[in-house]
Amino acid sequence: MDTVKQILKSNNYETALLNKIHDKSKKHEQGNRKKKWAKFTYVGKETRYITKLFKNSNVKVAYATNNNLGRLLSTHTDQRLDKYDANEMYQLECPTCNKNCIGQTRRPFKPRFREHYSYFKYAKNRSKFAQYVIEEGHSFGPMSEIMEVIHIKKKCKMLDTLEKFYIYKETKLGNQINNKLTIQSNPVFEVLVQHKLL
Q: What is the pLDDT of residues 5-57, one digit of tens each?
A: 777 777 777 777 667 776 766 665 655 556 788 887 777 777 777 888 888 88
Span 105-147, pLDDT tens digits: 888 999 999 999 999 999 988 899 999 999 999 999 999 999 9
Within-domain flag for 101: yes
Within-domain flag for 74: no
Within-domain flag for 53: yes
Q: Does one domain contain both 64 and 10?
A: no
Assign 95 to helix, strand or coil: coil
Q: Does one domain contain both 108 and 165?
A: yes
What's the pTM?
A: 0.58
Q: Does one domain contain both 62 and 92?
A: no
Instruction: Give the number of other CB atoms < 10 A from CB of residue 98.
Output: 9
Q: Does one domain contain both 10 and 42?
A: no
pLDDT at residue 73 in the model: 46
Distances (CA, A) of 17 to 2, 6, 8, 20, 107: 14, 14, 11, 5, 66
Domains of the chain: total: 3
Within-domain flag for 65: yes
The boundaries of the domain holding residue 132 are 83-194
Residue 138's contacts (CB-CB under 8 Å, 6 or more residues apart) are 94, 95, 96, 97, 132
Span 117-127, pLDDT tens digits: 999 999 988 89
